[in-house]
Amino acid sequence: MQNYPKAIADLIDELRKLPGIGPKTAQRLAFHLVVSGKSSIDMLIDSLAEVRDTIGYCSVCGNLTDIDPCGICQDPKRDASTICVVGYPKDVLAIERVGGYKGMFHVLHGYIEPLKGVGPDDIRVKELLARVKDNPNKVKEVILATNPDLDGETTALYLARLLKPLSVKVTRLARGLPFGADLDYADEVTLARALEGRSEV
Amino acid sequence: MFYQSEGIVLDQADLGENDKIATIFTRQEGLVRAVVKGAQRPKSKLRGLTQPLTHGLFQLYRGRSLERVTQVSMRNGFPGIIQDYEKMIYARYLVELLTNVLPEKERNRALFDLFLAVLGCLEQKEDPWVVVRWAELGILKLAGFAPSFSRCVSCGNGVQESLQASPVYFSLRGGGALCSECTSQVRPYGELIQVSPGTLRTLELLSTAAASAKPSPCPNITARGQVRAEINEVSRKYIAFVLEKRLKSAPLVESIEDDNSSK
Ligand SMILES: [Zn+2]
Ligand SMILES: [Zn+2]
């Protein structure tokens, strides 16, 4: 049985909630922090507090931002007639890293996951529809850049069904991406090619 | 120890930072949960080959604790399902039903063959609805929950004869139809669902089709309007009753069906 002081046990419990952190890693991180000294703990606390206090979701696209609307949504040089729909904020980063894309984004914050009971109402579908409907002359193309796996595909099919009657062009990333891949894992060349070669659904 | 089996991937989830764990319905060993090493890495070959709804030949390694997928030779990825929203939701719903009635590591070849046939029919048929109701009855039957539609679950008399006279009910607790005589007596039957003659006949046809020997041909039955709505009600309530819970994907299936019926 473990006999850590309660504060350390609590810290281990908190760290274990992070993705990809098992009990052993949590324990190692906790001990590392404990012995790392006051100033490095303070720096960590400060940066967590900074994130907590300044970072939120963009009210337009749902991306993580410290201003609202976010820098992308506010940028007059970007093309507001194209919206690229992604699952998570990290996917915006992946596409921005590639560089070629000059349109807007919409972050769903999840995918339709039937086996987890996550349906369209649980992700930002309503918000996407509103963006398209409220700007009928403005939004000309919606690019579905959901992950090329089963849940991403399900979500894309669902969105295509909703969007097509709104007479907006709906496209899907080209099939260069390996099935089952995560968007933010794709290398830049593959992702750039997938964006260029998108096709209408 | 290495072994090989034909199988269908039912689900896949992340395991730690590099691996995935796949739930595979194998013909040989029943439901197997196996680690797919490195499958979170972008270049992993096994990653695409262990996507849910992949049918193929799986080579597995049985270690001391968990099993591991070492090789896959894919036979079918059911593109006709994966490119259709309704079929996709239905397929995943049937996966959830299957994993709820099938114990782990228990061979059930009849159920494997049925499920494979179901995916094939789901892919082929234009109207997935009938395939799904047929599949549900087949899965329930092979798992030991077959409802009875031709004989009264209380007295054993044929219910078709009593159809003309008065309404027939489906008893959730009894797991089948009740004749009018039994319905009119005391009611220890729990919730009853009133069904029309057409509904009972269609359910009987579907359940006979589900019991037919393999290779299961796709059901050539259809239903509309009132009958379809009643069959949906019986199916939803009976499955929830048998499983003692609502399946997580059930609301998505229901929203498709309710949308379609209001069109
Ligand atoms: Zn924004
Ligand atoms: Zn009776």
Task: Write down all domains in chain B, each with its CATH number in brackets.
Answer: 2-76 (2.40.50.140), 79-146+197-261 (1.20.1440)
Give the pLDDT of residue B186.
Answer: 60
Taking a C-beta distance cutoff of 8 angstroms, is the pair A100, A192 a contact?
A: yes
What is the phi/psi pair of residue B53, to 5°?
A: 70, 20
Token pair in block for residue A200: 């209408």
Domain count, chain A: 2
Specify the residue for token string 């410290």. A66
String of DSSP letters for B124-143: H-S-HHHHHHHHHHHHHHHT
Q: Is residue A175 part of a domain?
A: yes
First to last CA, chain A: 57
> What confidence category does residue B231 fall into, taking pLDDT thresholds of 50, 70 and 90?
very high
Contact criterion met (CB < 8 Å) for A114 and B16: no
> What confidence category does residue B40 fall into, taking pLDDT thresholds of 50, 70 and 90?
confident
Q: Tell me the residues surrounding ligand 1 (ion) with CB < 5 Å.
A: A 58, 60-61, 63, 69-70, 73
Q: Is residue A1 part of a domain?
A: no
Give the pLDDT of residue B59.
Answer: 96
**Among partner residues B47, B50, B249, which is closest to A114 by beta-carbon distance?**
B249
Asked if A117 and A20 sit in the same domain, the reply is: no
Write the CB contacts of B200 (distance below 8 Å, at least 6 apart in sequence).
Answer: B149, B159, B160, B163, B168, B177
Each residue's pLDDT tens digit, B161-180: 655 656 788 999 889 998 87
Asked if A109 and A161 sit in the same domain, the reply is: yes
Angle between helices A38-54 and A23-35 in degrees, nearest 10: 120
B149 CA from centroid of ligand 2 (Å): 12
Ligand number nearest CA of B155 is 2
Asked if A135 and A72 sit in the same domain, the reply is: yes
Residue A116's domain comprises: 64-200
Asked if A123 and A177 sit in the same domain, the reply is: yes
**Which whole number is the average pLDDT over B156-164?**
72
Cβ-Cβ contacts under 8 Å, A146 against chain B: none
> What confidence category does residue A186 fall into, taking pLDDT thresholds of 50, 70 and 90?
low
Write the CB contacts of B156 (distance below 8 Å, at least 6 apart in sequence).
Answer: none
Asked if A156 and A186 sit in the same domain, the reply is: yes
**Which whole number is the average pLDDT over A118-137?**
92
**B168 Cα to chain A: minimum distance (Å):** 34
Q: Quote the ipTM score.
A: 0.86
Spatial distance between the Cα atoms of B136 and B192, rounded to a whole number of angstroms: 20
Contact criterion met (CB < 8 Å) for B248 and A150: no
Asked if A97 and A39 sit in the same domain, the reply is: no
Each residue's pLDDT tens digit, A19-68: 878 889 999 999 999 999 899 999 999 999 999 999 999 999 999 999 99
SS (H, E, C) B74-94: EEECCHHHHCCHHHHHHHHHH
* pTM of the full structure: 0.87
Q: Is residue A128 part of a domain?
A: yes
Strands (E), B175-218: 176-178, 192-195
Asked if A179 and A112 sit in the same domain, the reply is: yes
Spatial distance between the Cα atoms of B115 and A5, rounded to a whole number of angstroms: 53
Give the pLDDT of residue A32.
Answer: 94
CATH number at residue A46: 1.10.8.420
Taking a C-beta distance cutoff of 8 angstroms, is the pair B58, B5 a contact?
A: yes
Asked if A11 and A30 sit in the same domain, the reply is: yes
Give the pLDDT of residue B178.
Answer: 87
Give the pLDDT of residue B52.
Answer: 93
Q: What percent of chain B has pLDDT over 70?
A: 94
Q: Is residue A92 part of a domain?
A: yes
